[in-house]
Amino acid sequence: MTAAILTAARRERILREALRQGLLDRAESLLAGFVDLDGVAATVGALHEAFAGLDGDGAGPEAGSPQPPRVLHTFAAKANCLVPVLSELARLGMGCEVASSGELARALAAGFTPERIVFDAPAKTWAELERALALGVAVNADSFQELERIERILARRPSVSRIGVRVNCQVGGGSIAAMSTATSTSKFGVPLEDPGNRERLVRAFAEHSWLTWVHTHTGSQGCPLGLMARGVAQAVEFADEVEAAFGPGRVEGIDIGGGLPVNFSDDDVMPTFSMYVEQLRTHAPRLFARGYRIVTEFGRSLLAKNGFLAAYVEDAKSAGGRRIAITHAGVQVATRTVFAPDAWPLRIEAYDGSGAARRDRPVRQDIAGPACFAGDLLARNCALPLLRPGDLVVVPDTGAYYFSTPFHYNSLPEPAVHGVRVDADGRIAFSLIRPAQDPWELSDQDGVGLPSGEPVGAPVHSAG
């Protein structure tokens, strides 16, 4: 199944129709995000297809017949936590991985049932653990201390939650340190190779009958597939060690995390889920041969290439011989790219005010955002047709972590986000995923609920 359907031609068609319907205009709607829901469905299909043919060696309905392992694919909510997007993923048969109370609330609101939700976080509070265990949400403990908290909670109130422990397999990092979670000093999980930890973890399985899963996650962008698969292999080796000590079935399953990198250079979907499965076959064959249940937690790789930003060019100028286009898309919707451009470069496409792709001679220019600091740049020295006020820039591959996770610098408003579907006759339909924020509408979140005339931080006194 091909997941790469959001091509430049398709983006142009969507942009033209968005302009025709007034979803972008020079008066108010200067910036918007778009999620290609057809592309999301195709990508989810490709994920399921990649894992569909994996066979174990357990007995099937007939003696000797292979039994495929049971796989639950969860979506990492951090990649795009907009509730309508999560609802679409639930409809497509996904589960949901969450890393905070806020993400858990959104997953439940989106319709994920508790048994299809996995709660991972390095700093779960007592209250968060109590809520997750009461709901029956799966929990992966991140430390020995968290296992102790879970034990105390379960002593008072049993739970049907699947409970695992995250191990840091310490196999090393990729090219982006911030995205590498299996280094020797990573903050995540129990470091498996530190002296005494492996033995202490085995004892934890001896002491806690409710501990039945192993979880690992090596990293994401910048991590090669082989490194990720070797991390899974280490987790499988540890699970095998537990089973050797306490008997078959002691470890019910292995949560292998997510992390498939995304190609930000062009529209090709590379690497694919099938490529990753082949690496798992090579480096961690026992993941399938032992018949462990499997959970995955892919995020960016499901959404990134199925979304794009579109923004108007407000001004164009020259400074010191450098051409600069000032647009309405910047740090508020592309935070990682602005603050870490070498690690998170983005492509920029140029369109005229009608939504037609600009194809004239490229000129080197900076693409800047609206925020009031010099570093607010989407791209530096980018070769594009010379942008003019009223043109549009499109930023592909931003369906994950960009417009869905806004940064409120300068109190810049959150842009509208629209879902897109194209029917068999080529008709384009939009659905509102998030309305644009009105910058003139303030709320309690902005502090407007403070009593008038009271100094900030002063105690509030009630009459009577």
Which pLDDT belongs to residue 187?
A: 85
> With b meaning 16 or more CB within 10 Å and e meaning fewer, what string describes 138-172?
bbbbbbeebbebbeebbeeeebebbbbbbbbbbbe
DSSP conformational letter for 194: S
Closest CA to 315 of 384, 367, 383: 367
CB atoms within 10 A of CB 238: 23
In whole angstroms, what is the distance from residue 26 CA to residue 355 CA?
13
Q: Which residues lie across from 362 on neighbouring strands?
A: 385
Which residues pair with residue 369 across a beta bridge? none
Considering the domain 53-298 in this protein, what is its CATH number?
3.20.20.10
The Cα 229–Cα 172 span in angstroms is: 12
pTM: 0.92
pLDDT confidence tier of residue 55, bands split at 50, 70 and 90: very low
Instruction: Locate the domains of the chain by residue range.
Output: 8-34+305-445, 53-298
Q: What is the pLDDT of residue 453?
A: 53
Q: What is the pLDDT of residues 396-419, one digit of tens each?
A: 999 999 999 999 999 999 999 999
Q: Report the percentage of the chain scoring pLDDT > 70.
A: 93
Average pLDDT over every residue of 73-88: 98
Least confident of 14-23, 25-34, 48-57, 262-271: 48-57
Mean pLDDT across the stretch 306-330? 97
SS3 122: coil
pLDDT of the residue at 185:
82
Residue 443 to residues 56, 166, 417, 454, Cα–Cα distance (Å): 55, 39, 21, 18
User: Strand, helix or coil at 229?
Assistant: helix
Quote the mean pLDDT of the chain. 91
Residues 247-272 have pLDDT tens digits of 999 999 999 999 999 999 999 999 99
Range 8-34+305-445: architecture per CATH: Beta Barrel (2.40)
8 A C-beta contact, residue 87 and residue 106: no
